[in-house]
């Protein structure tokens, strides 16, 4: 595990606009860049989700469990769990599933007052099919309410007042208007942004026409401030033999790049160095949602102005809570347990099980 320069107490409330766009514009003693402390907005589609209870597969189950699933709302719910002020922007249909989605996200402590209700389009639906080789996901989201979102959603006052906007690579795959939305969010040069932009590559091959995702996702990711990508998905998108350092060379633009290597660990690259933290040993019930949980934990760590090691640890702790449940959103350990785990020595962290 590689250590990271700790954040200084005086940096906590420094806004993005006063930080400049690189180390040459920062004071020599400044800690690695982080977004300002303020509200977070997560923007993207959330669907109703149906899945059999483990260990059943979809074709053998006699009943299905109804929940909600969406990368961006997963992040929002975990950020709320971790005490951050967060809003979710999206659209749902004027139907029972849309009401279920809205209530579930709101029930987790997320502001959903900016979520639109579309009277003409339905709420998306997905079916999870767990199996020995992993979980297959079947989407029924074409023509959904959220697929009709466009750049105008960025005019919402919540975005204007945010310190951080979180997006994923799912949204530009949904429709031309959704891709235009993400393009607009990333068009403003970093030095002129009033809020930071976080982007999780979140490659979903089933949503993309053949041979289009690699170039689009690389371009979008390289324009964000904070980027999350799995090493396996980077290898699938941009080259089978890529290492974490290779991914950084491909995505040199982000101020912070986090490359996740499954159950092994995660590495954060910044302008001031590299920090790697091993993952916690955890029993996996269902892996879907763990990447979103990790992103939320890491972002919460940056928001709190902790050092990169603690931010990565908080990502792993949060991800472990998602691994333990069939749904995408599991309960976090209590605050005292989290703080104790963040304070562990390097040796004890490497031996610690997920709580």
Q: What are phi and psi of 314, to 5 degrees?
A: -65, -35
**Per annotation, catalytic residue among 11, 292, 307, 328:** 292
94 included as an active-site residue: no
Query: Cα(84)–Cα(103) distance, rounded to whole angstroms?
Result: 19
Q: Are strands 164-168 and 196-200 parallel, antiparallel or unpaired?
A: parallel
Neighbouring C-beta atoms of residue 128, cutoff 10 Å: 23
- The set of catalytic residues is 292
């Amino acid at each position: 595990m590689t250590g990271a320069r700790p954040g200084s107490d005086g940096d906590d409330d420094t806004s993005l606009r006063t930080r400049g766009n690189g180390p040459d514009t920062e004071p020599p003693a400044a800690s690695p860049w982080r977004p300002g402390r303020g509200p977070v907005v997560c923007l993207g589609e959330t669907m109703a989700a149906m899945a059999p209870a483990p260990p059943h597969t979809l074709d053998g189950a006699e009943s299905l469990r109804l929940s909600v699933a969406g990368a961006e709302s997963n992040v929002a719910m975990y950020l709320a769990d971790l005490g951050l002020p967060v809003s979710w922007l999206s659209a749902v249909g004027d139907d029972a599933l849309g009401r279920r989605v809205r209530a579930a996200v709101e029930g987790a402590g997320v502001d959903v007052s900016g979520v639109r209700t579309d009277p003409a389009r339905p709420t998306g639906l997905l079916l999870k099919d767990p199996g020995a080789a992993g979980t297959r996901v079947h989407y029924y989201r074409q023509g959904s309410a959220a697929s009709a979102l466009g750049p105008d959603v960025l005019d919402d006052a919540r975005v204007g007042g945010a310190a951080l906007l979180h997006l994923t690579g799912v949204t530009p795959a949904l429709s031309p208007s959704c891709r235009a939305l993400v393009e607009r969010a990333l068009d403003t040069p970093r030095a002129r942004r009033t809020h930071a932009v976080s982007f999780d590559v979140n490659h979903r091959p089933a949503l993309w026409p053949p041979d289009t995702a690699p170039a689009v996702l690389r371009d979008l990711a390289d324009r964000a401030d904070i980027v999350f990508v799995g090493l396996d998905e980077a290898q699938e998108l941009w080259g089978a033999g890529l290492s974490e350092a290779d991914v950084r060379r491909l995505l040199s633009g982000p101020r912070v790049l986090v490359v996740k290597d499954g159950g092994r660990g995660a590495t954060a690259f910044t302008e001031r160095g590299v920090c790697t933290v091993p993952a916690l040993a955890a029993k996996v019930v269902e892996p879907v949602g763990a990447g979103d949980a990790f992103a939320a934990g890491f972002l919460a760590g940056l928001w709190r102005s902790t050092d990169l090691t603690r931010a990565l640890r908080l990502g792993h702790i949060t991800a472990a809570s998602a691994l333990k449940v069939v749904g995408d959103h599991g309960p976090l350990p209590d605050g005292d347990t989290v703080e104790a785990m963040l304070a562990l020595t390097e040796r004890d962290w490497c031996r610690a099980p997920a709580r």
